[in-house]
Amino acid sequence: MYIEKHKIIKSTKELADKYIITQQHTDNFLIISETQTNGLGRKGQLWESPLGGLWFSLGMKHISKHICFPLFIGVCVLKALESLKNEQDQCFFKIKWPNDVYLDDNKICGLLCASHRKLGMTNIGIGVNTNNSPAFSISIKDKLQKDINNEEFLHKILDLFFRDYLQFEAEGFQFLSAYYAEHDYLLNKRIEIETGDTRYAGNYLGLNEEGALMLQLENDIVNTFLSGTIYFL
């Protein structure tokens, strides 16, 4: 796999998109940067990406047949995070639908997944607050009180991803469901979900067999959502 490392870059995701669209790379490739000046979050929001964190994009020659593919990626990150803990660490890593990972009540990882279907490539962008000190959150180092080896941590994420993705493609959300349910940050919460210009409020009921979010509305009707932005009530 082609690997490209940078000290500083505008956005690993933006560069990965360029490589895919121009077909500069037509097989798996990885872009890593120590810092990003314009890291991208959901809806084009800025993702703070200072020195110390882990910022990378994986260009993959693969198009998933499952809508819950981003959840699979999040579970791989979550499993890699769990491996960093010692028995005495009193903290909890959780996954928040559709694409965030939390440490206790703080977001410490975000991921974006963009499919270039005509080119048969997917761009997976991941940012993790490992050793940095973000302005509005915490880092893994802050909580576990130890330095995180970003290179080893990245290898762990990729090992889990490439080990399991074919089985995930064969089984879909069923492959994730038990582990996801044990680490579901939204469990037992009342939430609001925004899709387009509309917001829906209700009780979170978990995910269905495809990985879509189920929300019980005020009139007891259950709606399912394939994507959206979550707010807490």
Interval 188-208: pLDDT, tens: 999 999 998 899 999 999 999
- CB crowding 48-59: b at 16 or more within 10 Å, else e: ebbebbbbbbbb
The verdict on 42 and 133 lying in the same domain is: yes
| Same domain flag for 78 and 166 | yes
On whether the pTM is more than 0.85, the answer is yes
198 lies in which domain range?
Answer: 190-232
Tell me how far apart the alpha carbons of residues 12 and 47 are, in angstroms, rounded to a whole number: 12
Q: Give yes or no: residues 166 and 203 share one domain.
A: no
Q: What distance in Å separates the CA atoms of residue 58 and residue 220, rounded to the nearest whole number? A: 41
* Pair (8, 105) in one structural domain: yes
What is the rounded average pLDDT of the residues 145-153? 95
Same-domain pairing of 135 and 158: yes
